[in-house]
Structure 1
Amino acid sequence: MTENIRLAVVVGSVREGRFGPVVAAWFADRARRRPELSVDVVDLADTGLDEAFAERVGLADALVVVTPEYNHSFPGPLKTAIDATSGQLRDKPVGFVAYGGMSGGLRAVEQLRPVLAELHAVGLRDTVSFHGAAGAFDAGGRPREESEKEAAAAVLLDALVWWARTLRRARDEHAVGSPT
């Protein structure tokens, strides 16, 4: 039996009236159903954008960033938090759950990918996306197209578990930049 994978689900918006906590709660619930995952929801509005954020993600084996799309990109506070890390994201897989208007937040994800690649994080291809997010969920916080979104979350979580195990093993055997 291998050690549980520590997954940080990052709520990437701090705006008043934000929808991110609804999306993050839904996804974190899906992740908690996986016995191999230990889930930590890291809400930037509560955690802050500095060393506290870096410490929490540093403890994780994998991340999922829950991000809205603001002006064809991701929120500035999320960039500030990512910039506060110093090696904590290196060689860790990062998945994305995006939400927004017509694009479903996918333009924000495309802006995040090169930022995370620069930090040597491994951005996953599979993404969960909610178009017209406020209308995509019912009053109980469940997606209206639940079976489709459940399937997308399962694909993302499968990939995240595989990458987290693979990269953890690689880090344990030989971290990048360490002597051979």
Structure 2
Amino acid sequence: MNDKLRLAMIYGSTREGRFCDIVADWTAAQIARRDEFDLDRIDPALLDLPDRHGRHGTPDLVNLQQRIWRADAFVVVTPEYNHGYPAALKFVIDSVQGHWQAKPVAFVSYGGRSGGLRAVEQLRQVFSELHAVTVRDSVIFPMAWNRFGDNGLPHDAEASAAAGAGMLAQLAWWAHALRQARAGWPYPAS
């Protein structure tokens, strides 16, 4: 039996030429340093999702729902657009409904001066409503396009890696605790 935590990393941006790929690749490399995670990259730009919510979903939407249901934990890699998070990310979150319950969520954000913190604070409220648990520590990249070199690595590689390690340690703790709790008794969502 595989005791690894199933960690879904969700891309927040679907824009052409997006910076999200660089930040997501860095995040995936940080996750790969830890043996307890089995990573599933969920990129809405690569999925055939419907234009609006409805009763019937595309095969990719059904697959997305199953992937979220199987996940033990999540890392959301999100930019901040106009002081908020992207619409494509909101569509993904709302398309899944109850599969977020009693699971932890961590954030890696990027953007202008705030580094995506306003988007993360809004996402914390959304995930709370879905009965998910957000971990306290996150990784932020203010002025992200100036923070990464041509090699795809942050100029402050050690400090960024330390922030990522702290966030992932919290995420792993919550993921283990909540997986054990979900196995012991069903979560009583309203």
TM-score, normalised to structure 2, is 0.90
Deviations 1:73-114, CA, capped at 9 Å, x for gaps: 100110011000121111000000000000000100001011
**d(CA) in 2 for partners of 1:139, 1:86:** 39
Name the residue aligned to 2:168.
Answer: 157
**d(CA) in 1 for partners of 2:170, 2:48:** 28
Gaps of 5+ in 2: 50-60
**d(CA) in 1 for partners of 2:20, 2:186:** 34
Gaps of 5+ in 1: none
Whether 2:47 is the aligned partner of 1:47: answer: yes
CA RMSD, Structure 1 to Structure 2 (Å): 1.5
Deviations 1:106-127, CA, capped at 9 Å, x for gaps: 1000010111111101011100
Match of 1:67 among 78, 83, 99: 78
Q: Kindly provide the amino acid, as one letter, of the partner of residue 74 in structure 1.
A: Y
Deviations 1:25-72, CA, capped at 9 Å, x for gaps: 111111011111111111110135433322222211000000000010
Match of 1:137 among 126, 148, 155: 148
Q: Kindly provide the amino acid, as one letter, of the partner of residue 111 in structure 1.
A: Q
**d(CA) in 1 for partners of 2:94, 2:22:** 25
Whether 2:19 is the aligned partner of 1:8: answer: no
Q: CA deviation at 1:2?
A: 7.3
Q: How many matched pairs? A: 178
**d(CA) in 1 for partners of 2:136, 2:156:** 21
Residue 136 of structure 2 aligns to a residue whose secondary structure is strand
Match of 1:106 among 117, 126, 140: 117
Match of 2:180 among 164, 169, 178: 169
TM-score, normalised to structure 1, is 0.95
**d(CA) in 2 for partners of 1:2, 1:166:** 17
Name the residue aligned to 1:79.
Answer: 90
**d(CA) in 2 for partners of 1:120, 1:159:** 18
Residue 126 of structure 1 aligns to a residue whose secondary structure is coil
**d(CA) in 1 for partners of 2:84, 2:114:** 11
Q: CA deviation at 1:143?
A: 0.5
